Amino acid sequence: MADPLVIAGKTFRSRLIVGTGKYPSPAVMADAHVASATEMVTVAVRRVNLTDRSQPSLLDAIDRDRIFILPNTAGCYTAEDAIRTARLGREVGLSNWVKLEVIGDERTLFPDNVALLEATRVLVAEGFVVLPYTNDDPVACRRLEEAGAAAVMPLGAPIGSGLGIQNPNNIRIIKDQARVPVIVDAGVGTASDAAIAMELGADGVLMNTAIALAQDPVAMASAMKLAVEAGRLAFLAGRIPRREYASASSPAIGLIGALSPSERSGAGVGPRVTERASGGAAFAKASAPGAGGPGDKS
C-alpha cells in the first residue's frame, strides 16, 4: 500500500528519520541506516568538517544517493546562533532544509519556544524549509505552523531520555489541529515507543540515541523500522473502542446448557439439564424439584 510521507512537496517512502550521533563507529552507523530503511538523516552542522575536505568527514559514511541530509542546529541556545548555523549549512551545500533547534535549558534540553518562533520566521522568509523541534505543546505547534514551518516536531520526552511518549493526548491534539506533518522527535527508547507514536497519528518519528546506544544498533534500527510501519498501519486500520468490561469474541447462541437472557435474569422456569464431567464420564442431573434425584420415593 502506497502511503508516503510528504514534507514541503518532497516524498519519502519511510516515515522513520534517524540521527548520526553517538554510534560506536561510522561503519555501524551506515549499517544501521541501511537496516532502518530511512531516507532522511539529521546531521549537526557543528559536527561536520566543512573546511578541510581532505580530512575524513561524517558525511563520508552516509549514502547520499539514497539518503537525504537534514542539517540541524543542535547546540544553539539563541535564535541568532541557530539562524547563523542554518545559513552556514546551506552555504556549504548541505541543504536549504533545517531541523531547527534552539535550546532553552542545558539540563533538560527543552526548547526555547520564543527564540524558536523568532528563528522560524526569519529562516522561512529566507527560503528555508524549516522543521522546528519543540515542546509537546499544541499552542506552540500552532504558532510555528502559522510562522511557516513545513512540519512540526514535538518531543515525546527529553532528548536521549528513552522515556517514551509522556503526553500521548498532547500528541493526539497536535495532530488533530495540524495542517502540516507532525514528527515526534526525541524520547523514544525502544520499538514499542515508536509504534505508540505512530498509533497516536504522528506522521513520522525521528530518533537517534535509541538506535545508536542500543547494545546492537543495527538490530534496533531494524526493530524501529518495523515498529513505525506497524504503528502506522494500526493507526490507519483504526483501533477498537476501549471498554470497561469484557465483550466475548464468540456468541453464546448454540452452546450446550446456555441460558437465554430471560433465564439469566431469573425469568426462566422449568427444569434445566446441566452437564458435568467426572473422571472422563459425563452425566446429567435434573436441576428442578421432582426430577428423580436421590431420595425420591415416587
- CA–CA separation, 120 vs 61, rounded Å? 30
Question: ∠ CA 55-56-61 to the nearest 5 degrees?
Answer: 155
134 pairs with which residues across the strands? 154
What cell was used for 245?
468490561
Residue with cell 530518533: 207
Question: ∠ CA 34-200-72 to the nearest 5 degrees?
Answer: 50
- CA–CA separation, 255 vs 253, rounded Å? 6
Exactly one of 99, 225, 285, 297 is catalytic; name it. 99
What cell was used for 278?
467426572
What cell was used for 131?
522543521
Q: Is 99 a catalytic residue?
A: yes
What cell was used for 175?
495532530
Terminus-to-terminus CA distance in the chain, angstroms? Answer: 74
Q: Which helix (H) or strand (E) segment is 19 a member of?
A: none
Helices (H), 42-154: 79-91, 113-125, 138-146
Strand, helix or coil for residue 192: helix
Positions marked catalytic: 99
